[in-house]
């Protein structure tokens, strides 16, 4: 792996064993519903709509959604990619029934050959708001993922927007703290910027905003042409 930028390191360093042990409860059950106003079943439904038999997951956390989604076939071809060794280990252990391959890499740098694909689906849930930079800089992850799509393959996920969406007072304070600590990098993340990146890298896409979360999927015209 090439040298990783200090801000990129900070965006993933928080996911140690302790944080991952409370992540599902604090982030996916409580914060999603009560702060970001987008309960986790909305993201699970996005997984369920878009996941394919050969799946690459970027920024895997605890593997919560991968554990719950029903793969179309037996889901035996799952690859997990994350910069954080502890996230990789935790998610891989949780979905060990699929014998996932693991790849340690920074999504902002070209992916290593072990992640070459092709994939029927590539998921990046709650990853973009952890990545430093402007939308064009965050968009690198789409640039790296797009060529790995099999014909008809989909790229999907969700991200917490930091501006131009309804954010309650408590959520706003917590978001500011996360940004100060380098856990989030989303103060400038707006819906238009996300759409622009999706439009640049994929033939078609769809985005729905619930609370302050943008839930998206992208792929070919015939799947998303009416977006
Ligand atoms: C907020 S968690 C999301 C976990 C999971 N996808 C979910 O929806 O609950 C973000 C994950 O992205 C990983 N991550 C953050 N920055 C990364 C980067 N630059 N490259 C690869 N993984 C990164 C973190 O280690 C962590 O596992």
Q: What is the pLDDT of residues 169-197, one digit of tens each?
A: 999 999 999 999 999 999 999 999 999 99
- Tell me which residue has tokens 């930079």: 133
Q: What is the pLDDT of residues 51-61, one digit of tens each?
A: 999 999 999 99
What is the pLDDT, as a whole number, of residue 125? 98
Q: Which of the listed residues 21, 127, 139 should we mutate to test ligand 1's pocket, taking the one with most ligand atoms within 8 A of CB?
A: 127
For the CA atoms of 63, 64, 68, 73, the dihedral, rounded to the nearest 10 degrees, stands at: -20
pLDDT bucket at 223, cuts 50 / 70 / 90: confident
- The span from the CA of 121 to the CA of 191, in Å, is 23
**Domain map of the chain by residue range?**
6-224
DSSP string, 183-213: S---TT--HHHHHHHHHHHSSEEEEEEETTE
Atom nearest to 84 CA in ligand 1: 25
- The span from the CA of 218 to the CA of 202, in Å, is 6
Average pLDDT, the chain: 95
How far, in whole angstroms, is CA 31 from its chain's centroid? 16
CATH number, domain 6-224, options 3.40.50.150, 3.40.50.880, 3.40.50.920, 3.20.20.80: 3.40.50.150
Residue located nearest, by CA, to atom 16 of ligand 1: 12
What is the pLDDT, as a whole number, of residue 169? 97
Q: What is the pLDDT of residues 65-116, one digit of tens each?
A: 999 999 987 657 999 999 999 999 999 999 999 999 999 999 999 999 999 9
174 against 226, higher pLDDT: 174
Q: How close is the Cα of 185 to the center of ligand 1, in Å?
A: 12
Q: Which of the listed residues 85, 130, 160, 216 should we mutate to test ligand 1's pocket, taking the one with most ligand atoms within 8 A of CB?
A: 130
Which protein residues are within 6 Å of ligand 1, measured from CB? Answer: 8, 11-12, 15, 28, 59-61, 64-65, 82-84, 87, 106-108, 125-127, 130-131
The pLDDT of residue 226 is above 60: no
pLDDT bucket at 5, cuts 50 / 70 / 90: confident
Q: What is the pLDDT of residues 194-210, one digit of tens each?
A: 999 999 999 999 999 99
- Tell me which residue has tokens 């977006």: 227
Q: How close is the Cα of 84 to the center of ligand 1, in Å?
A: 8
Tell me the average pLDDT across 9-37: 92
Q: What is the pLDDT of residues 150-171, one digit of tens each?
A: 999 999 999 999 999 999 999 9
What is the pLDDT, as a whole number, of residue 122? 98
The pLDDT of residue 27 is above 90: yes
Q: Which of the listed residues 22, 33, 36, 59 should we mutate to test ligand 1's pocket, taking the one with most ligand atoms within 8 A of CB?
A: 59
Q: How close is the Cα of 207 to the center of ligand 1, in Å?
A: 20
Q: What is the DSSP letter of 129?
A: G
Q: How close is the Cα of 127 to the center of ligand 1, in Å?
A: 5
What is the pLDDT, as a whole number, of residue 74? 61
Residue located nearest, by CA, to atom 20 of ligand 1: 106
Q: What is the pLDDT of residues 114-151, one digit of tens each?
A: 999 999 999 999 999 999 999 999 999 999 999 999 99
What is the pLDDT, as a whole number, of residue 13? 84
């Amino acid at each position: 792996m090439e040298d990783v930028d200090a801000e990129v390191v900070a965006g993933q360093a928080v996911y140690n064993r302790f944080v991952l042990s409370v992540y599902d409860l604090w982030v996916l059950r409580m914060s999603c519903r009560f702060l970001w106003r987008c309960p986790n079943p909305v993201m699970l439904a996005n997984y369920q709509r878009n996941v394919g038999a050969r799946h690459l997951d970027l920024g895997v956390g605890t593997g919560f959604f991968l554990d719950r989604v029903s793969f179309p076939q037996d889901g035996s071809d799952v690859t997990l990619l994350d910069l954080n060794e502890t996230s990789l280990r935790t998610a891989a252990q949780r979905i060990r029934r699929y014998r996932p391959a693991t790849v340690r890499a920074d999504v902002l740098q070209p992916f290593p050959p072990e992640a070459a694909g092709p994939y029927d689906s590539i998921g990046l849930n709650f990853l973009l708001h952890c990545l430093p930079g402007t939308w064009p800089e965050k968009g690198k992850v789409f640039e790296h993922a797009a060529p790995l799509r099999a014909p008809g393959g989909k790229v999907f996920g969700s991200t917490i927007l930091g501006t131009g969406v309804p954010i309650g007072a408590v959520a706003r304070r917590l978001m500011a703290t996360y940004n100060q600590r380098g856990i989030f990098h989303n103060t400038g993340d707006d819906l238009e910027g996300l759409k622009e990146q999706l439009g640049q890298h994929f033939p078609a896409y769809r985005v729905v905003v619930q609370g302050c979360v943008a839930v998206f999927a992208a792929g070919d015209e015939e799947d998303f042409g009416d977006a």
